[in-house]
Amino acid sequence: MKVGELIRNFKARDSKDVLLRSPLWSDIDDFLHFINSLVDEGADILANTKRTREEEVDFVSRLITNIERNRMISVVAEVEGHLIGHVEVTKKVGYASHVGLLGISVLKDYRDIGIGQELMKEAETQAKNLGVEII
C-alpha cells in the first residue's frame, strides 16, 4: 500500500459514489472533523474527547509513517470529497506478526448502506498483502 493510493470506487446501497483510497497529508482536517463527529455522537470508539488540529497532525503523521514502513494498512472512504469512513489494520510484531488489530468507523449519516462492509473487504485484502493472516 502506498500513501494516497486510489484503490477502487463503488456505489453504496443509496446510490452514492464512494471512493476507497489510502490517506493523504491533506486529509488532516477531514480526519479532525471525522473523529470529532464520532466523539459528538458518543460512538463506541477509543476516543471520548474531541481532538485538536495539533493532535490530528500527530495522528496522520503516525498513520502515514506506519503505512510507509509496512506496519499497517489504512483505507478511507470518501463521498463527494469528504472522508466519511476509515478502517485500519495494524500488524503486530514478533511471534504475533501474522495478527492484525482492526479499527473501523463510519459517520452516522453513512451507515447501513454497505460502506462498512466494503471497508472490511478492502481491509482483509490489503492486510493479506501485509502478511496478516488473522484480524
Interval 68-86: pLDDT, tens: 999 999 999 999 999 999 9
**Could you read off the pLDDT of 102-131 as tens digits, one per residue?**
999 999 999 999 999 999 999 999 999 999
Q: Are 107 and 34 in contact (CB under 8 A)?
A: yes
27, part of any domain: yes
Plot region of 49 (φ>0 → left; ψ -120 to 50 → alpha; else → beta) = beta
Q: How many domains does the chain have?
A: 1
94, part of any domain: yes
134, part of any domain: no
What CATH number corresponds to the domain at position 68? 3.40.630.30
1, part of any domain: no
Domain that holds residue 78: 6-129
pTM: 0.92
Average pLDDT, the chain: 95
| Beta carbons within 8 Å of 38's beta carbon, 6+ residues apart | 45, 47, 105, 107
19, part of any domain: yes
User: Nearest Cα to 54, choosing from 74, 89, 28?
Assistant: 28
